[in-house]
Every structure is written in C-alpha cells, then in structure tokens.
Chains A and B, each alone.
Chain A
Amino acid sequence: MTLFNVVLTAAEKFNLDEVVVHHLGDQPLWHLEIGGMDMSITKRVVMMWIASVLLLAIFIPLARKIAKNPYAKPSRWQSLLESLIQFVRFDVGKASMHLAHKSYDGFLLSLFFFILFCNLLGLIPPLGELVHIAGTLFGTTSSHHGHELPLAVKLWPASTATGDIAVTGTLAVISFIAIQISGLIYQGIAYIKNIVPKGVPLPLWVIMWPIEVLGQFTKPFALAIRLLANMTAGHLIILVLMSFIFQFQSYLVAPASILGSTAIYMLEIFVAFLQAYIFVFLTALFIAGAQHRH
C-alpha cells in the first residue's frame, strides 16, 4: 500500500507505519532461494546494482579517456570527477596514512564512490511507481495486478541501499578486514600485541588488551550505524513532514510540509557526500592506526 494509494482510497485510514515500512523498508522484487537461503533480489539489491552499473559506466570510460592523453585539458565533468578522486586520494588517503596511501587508493576510491552513489540514488523518487499511480488515476492502467508489480517499478524501486544495516554492516566488515590485514602486513604478528598503546605497565596492559580488541570491533560497528542512521533519518523526516498533510487532511499544512521537506532534501544531498566522506576517512584513519603502533 503506497502513500499515493492511500490518497486514492480516501475511505481508508492513513497509516504512517505502513508508509514508513514501504519507503524505508526493503521488499523482495524477485524471489530467489539459493541453498535454502533467501537470496531474493530486493529493492536495495536493485538500487545497489544500478549504482554499480553507473560506477562502471562513468569511471571506465573516464579512465580510457584520461589514459589516452593525460595532458589534455579535462572537460568540466572530467574535472569534477578528477577533483573528487584527488580529494579521496590526498585529503583522505594521504592525510591519514602518508605515503602508504598508494596501496589503498583503489580500495578507498571504490568505497567512497560506492557509498556516495548509493546515498545519492536513494534521493531520487520512485519514478516508475509515480507513472504507475498516475496511470491508475487516469484509468489507463488497471490497479488490479494482483501481487505482481509492474516492471518499471521494479527497475527503479527508489530505495537507499545504504539505509540498511545489512549493507552498511557488510561494508563495515570489509573495512574491518582491510584494517586488520594492513595492521598484520605492516607490523606482523606483533600487531596483535601492539594494539595496546606503548608504555602501558603490565598489570594495566592485561586489562587494556581485551578493551582494545573490543575497540577493534566497535569502530566498524560505529561506521555501520552512523551511515545507516544518517541515511535513514533524513528520509524519515521527509516522510513525517509529508505525512502531516494526510494526517491532518488539510491543504493548509501542505506549503509548510513541502517547504520543510525541500529544505531537508537539500540537507540530505549534503549528508550523502558527508557520510561517504566520513566512512572512508575513518576507514583510512583506522588503517593508518593499525599500521603504526601508537
């Protein structure tokens, strides 16, 4: 039941819970089961794939173009991407791990742009759903499909992939693995003992070591929660502001709601960049921290 269906069937009572679940929750679009496990292609999986296809479609041609003649004057679009790339390489990578950043450029860049694209795509409304609803409204499309959603809705389900703990958690686990591996590569086995800062007396060391080990897990956990919360909160505020119109059943609320959500939407664009930056920046910092004993 969509927000718009609620409007269409005025007889039905408005239910914020349903709206939130529909817009912020994840629903399977194609059911799939592999080895007894539910591997359904959900809304978020589709959005993630769209983001991935965009990433490949943008950066591989850019790489070909730039490799052909590195000294040619870059176009505006190219300059924008180049400045973002250089920002991640130098202001994130080099700023936290100095010369060691070169081995991590590819990882940090992939992480940054993957998160950024997922964040930004989540800001675009479900256009397929809008077309479908408009069609139902003007009677050109039948509203009785049964449970099957039209393909346009499925191909652009408009969901924020990074607004799900499964996605942010997985990315955080990947970060965690990168941090631990770089620690082991740089310090060898001594890394396991060196996670406790230098100069700690032995009795204290015994207490601190488990705490520091726990800290290794809380860092990526915080990464996952931070991204999830930031990506969900803005959407939730927009939904709540819009819901006022339906809750109060009044046109007078509409201008305030629309103005408010527009403002939050602008903020969300900023947050999309900011959270992608924070995720990679903290990952880079943690990698740098694991490389050297502090």
Chain B
Amino acid sequence: MSIILAGSLNLLEVNPGLAIWTLITFLLVLTILWLFAWKPIVKALDARSHRIADDLEKSRKLREEAEALLRDYESKLEKAKAEAVEIVEEGRKDAEVLRKRILDEAAEEGERIKKRVSGELEQAKLKALAEIEERVVDLAEELVSRVLKDKLTGVDHKKLILEEMASLQKDN
C-alpha cells in the first residue's frame, strides 16, 4: 500500500471536481475534433489511399501492355531478320543459277560457232577441191586437145608439156 498511499498522497482518492472537468473537456475535444479534424482527415486519407491503389493498378496494366507490345515487336523483328536472310539467300541462289546458265549458253554458242566454222571450212575445202577438180579436168582437156593439135602440127611433145606446165604454174 505504500505506493498507493505514498505518504500523504492517496492515489485512489477521486476528486469529483477533476472527474467532471475531465468529462467536460474530453467530450468537448472529442466533438470538436470529430467534426473538424477526424472527419476531413479520414476522408482525405481514404481518398489518397484509393488513388494510390488505382494508380498502382493502372501502372501494372500499362506495364503489362508495354511488355506485350515489346514481345510483339521483338517477334516481328525476328521474323523480318529471317526474311531478310532468306531474301539474300534466294538472291545468291538466283545469281548462281544465272551465272551457270550464262556460262552454259556461252559454251554452247562457242561450240556452235566452232561447228559452223568447221562446216564452212569443210564446205570451202570441198568447193575448192571441186573447183580444182574442175580446173584440172579443164586443163587436162585443154592439154589433151593441145597435145592432140600439136601432134597434128608436129611440135615437140616434151617442149609442149613443159610450156604448159610453166603456164599453169604462172596461172597459179
């Protein structure tokens, strides 16, 4: 009891006047604060926390959208890259084919030219041979006729042949 009754101080002795002052003061403070402080403060704090929650939700959605967009663009880019590689590859292949074709054609053309030239040569040879033949026949005929004429006129055969041969050589 020494603490409750610290000397001449009685801690459990109620002073009714103080109790009534406490009641009046507290109820007054309660009313005034309730009306002019707690009501607006609580309203504002709730409004703020709602707004923060809304903002968080909104930013989460935006982020998700942005991520989806990014993924979309990334896949598009990937596709475009693959396409580009394909195009280049195709171009190379085409070029290769073209080159081969050009080379083949050139080779073929060459062959053809070669063939044609050799044919022409053959023809020319044949023609020349025919011509020679013709000439030889003509000459032989001429020679024969001359020989025969000279025999008739009594000219030295040997001399005649030599003359003819010389004229032939001169002709050529």
Asked if A20 is at the interface of the complex by the 8 Å CB criterion, the answer is yes
Chain A's interface size range is 35 or more
Q: Are A106 and B38 in contact (CB under 8 A)?
A: yes
Who on chain A is nearest to B39 by CB? A106
By a CB distance below 8 angstroms, the chain A residues around B22 are 48, 161, 166-167, 170-171
Asked if B130 is at the interface of the complex by the 8 Å CB criterion, the answer is no
- Give the complex CA separation of A42 and B19 in angstroms: 11
B5-47 with Cβ < 8 A to chain A: 6-9, 11-23, 25-30, 32-34, 36-45, 47
- Give the complex CA separation of A55 and B25 in angstroms: 12
Report how many A-B pairs have Cβ atoms within 8 Å.
148
Asked if B92 is at the interface of the complex by the 8 Å CB criterion, the answer is no
- Complex partner residue of B38 from A37, A38, A86, A110, CB under 8 angstroms: A110
Please list the residues of chain A having a beta carbon within 8 angstroms of any beta carbon in chain B.
16-18, 20-21, 24-26, 37-42, 44-45, 48-49, 52, 55-56, 59-60, 62-64, 66-67, 70-71, 82, 85-86, 89, 105-107, 109-111, 113-114, 161, 164-167, 169-171, 174, 228, 232-233, 236
| 30 sample A-B contacts, Cβ–Cβ < 8 Å, listed by A number | A16-B7, A17-B8, A24-B9, A24-B11, A25-B9, A37-B20, A38-B15, A39-B20, A45-B18, A48-B21, A55-B33, A56-B32, A59-B38, A59-B41, A60-B36, A63-B36, A63-B41, A66-B45, A67-B44, A89-B42, A110-B33, A113-B33, A114-B26, A114-B30, A165-B13, A166-B16, A167-B19, A171-B26, A174-B23, A236-B3
